[in-house]
Structure 1
Amino acid sequence: MTVEIFTENRLNEWQELYDSLEHAGSYHDPRYMSLLAGGFEQESEFAEAFVYTTDDAFVYYPYIRRTLSELPFEVDDIDGVEYSDIVSSWYYGGPVASVGADEDTVDAFLEEFSDYCRRENIVSEFVRFDPNLENHETFEALDPSFNRETVRVDLTQSLDDIWDDFEKRNRNAIRQAQETDIVVEPTTDPDDYAAFHDIYTDAMKAQDAAKHYRFPLSFFEALLAEDDLATLSVARYEGEVIGGSFVVHDDDIAHDYLRASDPDYWDLRVNNLICYESLMEMRRTGRELFDFQGGRPGVFKFKRGFSESGRGEFHIAKQVHIDDVYDTLVDAASDSGVDTESGYFPAYRVEQSN
């Protein structure tokens, strides 16, 4: 048995390990995680992976590690120790077991990881499992709880079957958009990246979105520069970019990652057309599944228009590794005015959308 810790200092080795997994989503990719960390929620965070290996199997667990020194309140009773907590990659994450990893391997991994967290002063752990990998089933000991449904489209179906599984209102909206002069196409033009980023940023401001939805242009550019990790498709109308869809993908699964459009063109059903053409582009390039993910009720209603039958189940898990420090942090947060009774985890952090 061996345990290894991978960070950006060992990115090439980390990438080789990730590539050896038969199935691990793009959100588990160290390239994606290293780009996400450091601006996802705070500056002092970094991507890390804990890997437990036996003779013929291993468990791969990537996550983002966040210092607790930047909490927006004073904590007087933790003895000057540098504590941290961890959160899964966004949108999905959680540990992934290799082929051949049995229940004993999983149990041993969990014990070793819990010991590691206590040694490293990692107070708590928030896990977002991957509904496409269904890794919550392998790690039942983490007590996963159902959070929401996701919408997905099987791209191995015929075009007619994909179309027929759209809700009628969505088919009508797509037809309406196709009758306009809107053109949706993938792009590698930096000017298109910037134009889409402007539209996306305006949308996040209008929605007063959480910090981890607000990305700088440099993040878009860096992610799109990685080979076969992301694709941007933009919608053009009379030569102007009026919206787009940012899709993160591996060879098999594509994710509806970030999307926005100019509200002046919503009546033309530009959003429906953007999603449809992005989905078709992923099918043309050989992906087998398009994951629209989930969302709040209004967002989910729109997404389910692209599949009446395709659903996944998104699960989360919450772990406290150092109980007394966790309780101290929650008390300090409560005293400073943080709503620690909302159900958000960890309770000492200011609530954001998960």
Structure 2
Amino acid sequence: MVYRTFDLSEKENWHEFLEKTESKDVYFTPEYFEIYERNGEGKAQLFIYENGEDFVYYPFLLRGLNDLTYAEDVRRKYGDLYDITTPYGYGGPITNSKVESHKKQLYSEFEDSLSSYCFQNNIISEFVRFHPFIRNHLDYKDIESTLNRHTIFVDLSLDLEEIWENYDNKNRNRLRKAKANEYFTIVHRSPNELENFMNLYYKTMDKKNAYEYYYFQKDFFDNSVELLRDHLELIEVMMDDKVTLSCFFMLYGDFIHYHLLGSDEEYLKYSPNNSLIHYVVEWAKSQGKKVLHLGGGYAGDTDTLYRFKKRFNKYGDLPFYIGKRIRNGEIYHELIKDLPVNENYFPLYRHPDLALKNLLTKQ
């Protein structure tokens, strides 16, 4: 099957194809992928399958297994091994095809082509975080898709009065109180003014007992600012001349995404995050955006973060699907057969509990 792949030296090709789709979002751009390539999470690749004017656009990170010391014996047997994944956020394959019958055939051909690519390149597994709003899990049939959780969006195409009516009562009361008492001043900062954000972000990660992965280094934020440029907005909430909350939003096409946030726990009783999101609803609508995507909870549909976000749209649930595919069962099972970890993780050979063991083995 005929396909083409592009790396980050060919960004113009990424953008040329992406602009022809109706699914334009920051998560599919080469600049977003470069952040994660620079962060050491794999080599950014764009896989394109074409049939006439129609195509499937599938960006992913190609990750080598050479850094996994417990996989050395398997690598010696089979050669260099790889897997593919979407980075933090959302992704998966998208297309410019609009006719359902054509799209179905196109994806079938794409899936055959991708299988050939994976076989030729010793790719052992594939993991996809599908885009909740685009719902591209419905098109990609050649992978096991499962519902992971729900995310929340605000429909900015509605009138502000309708959006307000979709807030829950508790949220509206908190917003009225904050406005009446003039608690907050909300300011836009230059995205490279990172000091306040980083201090608050790390405190928030400590409070949430977050996985080590989410303690991004300063280079990660510097790279985000450099690469996303006009698609990144840093907005802060001030109270008593002190920054109480600092949040990055990503903007692209019709979308604005609530991305990374840090807050001062001492001020949370005043609900600064409620005021921030309400402000962004009005601001993003004035900028012509159609969707504010708030994301989901830390652990699913029952935690406090999910319930908080749902206060901004009682009807705003979007199903978030993940996809898992073992591309080479023989090698995959050789890699995992003696691993002392819970099997409820994919791919199992990248289980977080193995990371420390791997690090100690290298020392």
TM-score (norm 2): 0.89
Give the whole-Å Cα distance in 2 for the aligned partners of 1:345 and 1:189.
34
Give the whole-Å Cα distance in 2 for the aligned partners of 1:247 and 1:349.
29
Q: Which one of the candidate residues 45, 66, 69 is aligned to 2:42?
A: 45
Give the whole-Å Cα distance in 2 for the aligned partners of 1:210 and 1:51.
34
Q: Secondary structure at the match of 2:277?
A: helix
- Answer yes or no: is 1:156 the counterpart of 2:142: no
Q: Secondary structure at the match of 2:164?
A: helix
For 1:110, the equivalent position in structure 2 comes to 111
Q: Secondary structure at the match of 1:223?
A: helix
Q: Secondary structure at the match of 2:347?
A: coil
Deviates more, 1:130-139 or 1:269-278: 269-278
Question: Deviations 1:121-144 (Å, cap 9, x if unpaired)?
Answer: 111001111111111111133232
Distance 1:290-1:201 versus aligned 2 partners, 3 A rule: same
For 1:311, the equivalent position in structure 2 comes to 317
For 2:81, the equivalent position in structure 1 comes to 83
Structure 1 residue 340: deviation in Å? 3.6
Give the whole-Å Cα distance in 2 for the aligned partners of 1:285 and 1:103.
35
Contact 2:191–2:233 under 8 Å retained in 1: no
Distance 1:156-1:168 versus aligned 2 partners, 3 A rule: same
Distance 1:290-1:314 versus aligned 2 partners, 3 A rule: same
Which stretches in structure 2 are left out of the alignment for 5+ residues? 354-363
Once the two structures are superposed, the pairs formed by residues 1-354 of structure 1 within 5 Å of their partners are: 2-39=2-39, 43=40, 45-71=42-68, 73-79=70-76, 81-100=79-98, 101-178=102-179, 179-188=181-190, 190-191=192-193, 193-225=194-226, 226-295=228-297, 296=299, 297-332=303-338, 334=339, 337=340, 339-341=341-343, 343-351=344-352
Question: Deviations 1:99-134 (Å, cap 9, x if unpaired)?
Answer: 255222111110110111111111100111111111
Distance 1:246-1:44 versus aligned 2 partners, 3 A rule: closer
Deviates more, 1:275-284 or 1:307-316: 275-284
Q: Secondary structure at the match of 2:3?
A: strand
Distance 1:203-1:157 versus aligned 2 partners, 3 A rule: same
Distance 1:89-1:224 versus aligned 2 partners, 3 A rule: same
Q: Secondary structure at the match of 2:349?
A: coil
Deviates more, 1:206-215 or 1:129-138: 206-215
Contact 1:244–1:274 under 8 Å retained in 2: no
Q: Secondary structure at the match of 2:76?
A: coil
Structure 1 residue 195: deviation in Å? 0.9
Give the whole-Å Cα distance in 1 for the aligned partners of 2:61 and 2:212.
16
User: Which residue type is aligned with residue 241 of structure 1?
Assistant: V
Q: Percent identity?
A: 27
Give the whole-Å Cα distance in 1 for the aligned partners of 2:318 and 2:85.
21
TM-score (norm 1): 0.91
Give the whole-Å Cα distance in 2 for the aligned partners of 1:261 and 1:312.
26
Contact 1:252–1:289 under 8 Å retained in 2: yes
User: Which residue type is aligned with residue 149 of structure 1?
Assistant: H
Q: Secondary structure at the match of 2:293?
A: strand
Structure 1 residue 44: deviation in Å? 5.4
Give the whole-Å Cα distance in 2 for the aligned partners of 1:340 and 1:293.
27
Deviates more, 1:230-239 or 1:56-65: 230-239
Q: Secondary structure at the match of 2:233?
A: strand
Distance 1:102-1:251 versus aligned 2 partners, 3 A rule: closer
Question: Deviations 1:47-91 (Å, cap 9, x if unpaired)?
Answer: 111100111200000011221122253542332611111111321
User: Which residue type is aligned with residue 162 of structure 1?
Assistant: I
Give the whole-Å Cα distance in 2 for the aligned partners of 1:71 and 1:243.
38
Give the whole-Å Cα distance in 2 for the aligned partners of 1:224 and 1:171.
33
Structure 1 residue 255: deviation in Å? 1.2
Q: Secondary structure at the match of 2:80?
A: coil
Structure 1 residue 189: deviation in Å? 5.9
Distance 1:200-1:72 versus aligned 2 partners, 3 A rule: farther
Q: Secondary structure at the match of 1:196?
A: helix
For 2:361, the equivalent position in structure 1 comes to none
Distance 1:280-1:72 versus aligned 2 partners, 3 A rule: farther
Q: Secondary structure at the match of 1:286?
A: coil
Q: How many residues align?
A: 343
User: Which residue type is aligned with residue 35 of structure 1?
Assistant: I
Question: Deviations 1:314-341 (Å, cap 9, x if unpaired)?
Answer: 1111101111110011124x1xx3x142
Give the whole-Å Cα distance in 1 for the aligned partners of 2:178 and 2:116.
56
